[in-house]
A and B are shown apart, each in its own frame.
Chain A
Amino acid sequence: MKLLEYASKEVFRRFGLPVQEGKLAYTPEEARRVAETLKPPYVVKAQVPVGGRGKAGGVKLAHTPEEVEEKARHILNLTIKGVPVKKVLVTEAADIAHEYYLGVVVDRRNNQPVIMVSAEGGVDIEEVARTKPEAIHKLAVDPIWGLSDFQARQLAFRLFQDKKKALKAAGIIQKLYRAFQEVDAQLAEINPLVETPEGELLAVDAKIVVDDNALYRHPDLEQMRDMDYEEPKELEAKAADLSYVKLDGTIGCCVNGAGLAMATMDVIKHFGGEPANFLDIGGSSRPEKVIKAMEIITSDPNVKVIYFNIFGGITRCDDVARGLVEAFRTMEVKVPLVIRLTGTNEEEGRRILEESGIPLHTARTMSEGAQKAVALAQQAG
């Protein structure tokens, strides 16, 4: 789960990281009222779950509350990388003497957290990693021992000549690591960490990605889930224990297993079609899950054909068949359905489908099913 800047800053504040005063606003008027409680000058920042907002004009400086209102009106009308801006963060502006980067990330290659710091902050760190890798200093942390203060100091002294500032930065690195560890983050990042002309250090932008698998330990963070940008159908699917990602194509997919679901999308594309979604119904596919999957797929107006690709292992083909029959009984399915059903209890599954008389296009293999689905989608125009 990705936390937006405002939510990440709220978490960082709890861990004692230096974050400026600021508040979220949904309307230009609200933004002005927030500014009235702060010291000028101000910054108005789009809160969107995509990068590159600065280049898209989603971050603006303002000197008066009236100007904040005007800038917020402009930003709230923007669409950044296809995402319409729904809220802005209004904060006090910081004078910038220098920008640094601080981040902690799960290094899946070495199975441990890695801290990365750089004096080249304020820009895309992946770009720095590509063009100037020597500008990034890394430290692997033992996940059992955690980060020692001396390690934080070693990193900080690589960024700062001034001893006082370096020690201050070491404290910030230590707090950032603690936040990373305690909220079960996959990424905790300050970019930029701003050094002001007065020598103050401020976390001006913040980003946290929390491990979905650990959310059960963090009910407070689960409440911070950004309902303004979550795809409602994806949340609905999640509640039903389905894994669904909406895409832009016309062929609605329903598959058991994530790898097979991805491969099904690829095979559809290979034969000239476009998948409307990724959908994994998971291992133990009770009939109710199949019904919910049908509801979610058919609610997408772009879907012109549905493709069920089931390789029964733990998933039983007869369960899938029963779910489908029930779905056809309880809802109006207006688009054709192609099904490939093989593996555990496939004979029983096929028999249930045949006896039900529901209109189906059957396929023996994954590729045959995909070709049929693509042809039907093309016929539907």
Chain B
Amino acid sequence: MAILVGKDTRVVVQGITGRDGSFHTQLMLDYGTQVVAGVTPGKGGQEVHGVPVFDTVAEAVAQTGANASVIFVPARFAADAIMEAADAGVQLVVAITEGIPVHDMMRVMAYLKDKPTRLIGPNCPGLITPGEAKIGILPGQIFARGPVGVISRSGTLTYEIVSHLTAASLGQSTAIGIGGDPIIGSRFIDLLKLFNEDPETEAVVVIGEIGGTDEQEAAAYIKEHFTKPVVAFIAGRTAPPEKRMGHAGAIISGGTGTAAEKIAAFEAAGVPVAALPEEVATLVKEKLGR
């Protein structure tokens, strides 16, 4: 089962003729993802790694039946690209692009409000259902299929924790990087709901960081509604306030969004928070009684 992406997902790559778009199209194909189309306005008719390129997403969808999109276009055009995909009826849009202005993202979210499209990201590594398909830039080789759902605001920290899970024979159902920006399409709580319904997922790892209140809201949801064991990790315990720690969303402002606040919220919801990345796998093992 897994969630959101699988072997039947048909992907269109927006920005396929760019350096990153082209490179990761190849890696996605190598992994087994069905990349059926690419879009670069003005370059329709070309091919990239054997994938046909179209001028518009609407055309790509009409010609190839694409039902998911991954966006590699530069930041100043990325908000428009997300809306174009939603307008074409694409169900899942994954925005890898980093640095989209927050006002652009507010307009995007307002635009998406009445549409069935689910957005992952921006500024995220994408998502993967091991052994079936990956959409984005995650390194496929560190993942293995299994019962653990992973949701993370980070990229490489996800790889770090997943590599420990895989080494401990705890494979993943689906792993999703939701992005490090203040405004993102899907939050912990949205994806927890999907994992709750997924019979293959037996436990979930939540990887959060300083800034905002998404972790606190996730903790409240877990306490009330989530039926499976959850283990958390929070990056930024030692981060100073008012300093942006790389991610646009990772900033402690006005005394809120601290790691301590988030850890307390998870612990109050019965979710253990690992002090070190490698402890996540140990805690998941304990929770699953393996």
Contact = CB atoms under 8 A, between A and B. Distances in A.
A-B complex is real: yes
B255 interface: yes
Contact of A262 (B111, B125, B163, B210): B210
Contacts of A113: 106
A260 B160 contact: yes
B226 interface: no
Nearest to B161: A263
B99 A258 contact: no
B138 A313 contact: yes
Given A111-B109, A257-B155, A262-B236, A184 B247 contact: no
A275 B236 CA distance: 12
Interface stretch (A66-74, A152-160, A208-216): A208-216
A263 B160 contact: yes
Nearest to A113: B106
B106 A343 contact: no
B118 to A, nearest CB: 14
Interface residues of A, number: 52
A181 interface: yes
B246 A111 contact: no
- Among B156, B163, B207, chain A packs the most CB atoms within 10 A around the CB of B156
A366 B277 contact: yes
Interface in B166-219: 180, 182-183, 207, 209-210, 212-213, 217
Interface stretch (A93-101, A266-274, A318-326): A266-274
Contacts of A255: 156
B103 interface: yes
A257 B157 contact: yes
Nearest to B160: A311
Contacts of A20: none
Contacts of A367: 276-278
Nearest to A266: B237
A261 interface: yes
A142 B156 contact: no
Interface of A: 106, 108-109, 111-113, 126, 142-144, 181, 184, 186, 211-214, 216-217, 243, 245, 247, 255-263, 265-270, 275, 278, 280, 283, 311-315, 342-344, 365-367
Given A108-B249, A111-B109, 8 more contacts: A109-B213, A211-B101, A214-B103, A243-B245, A255-B156, A263-B236, A270-B276, A278-B245
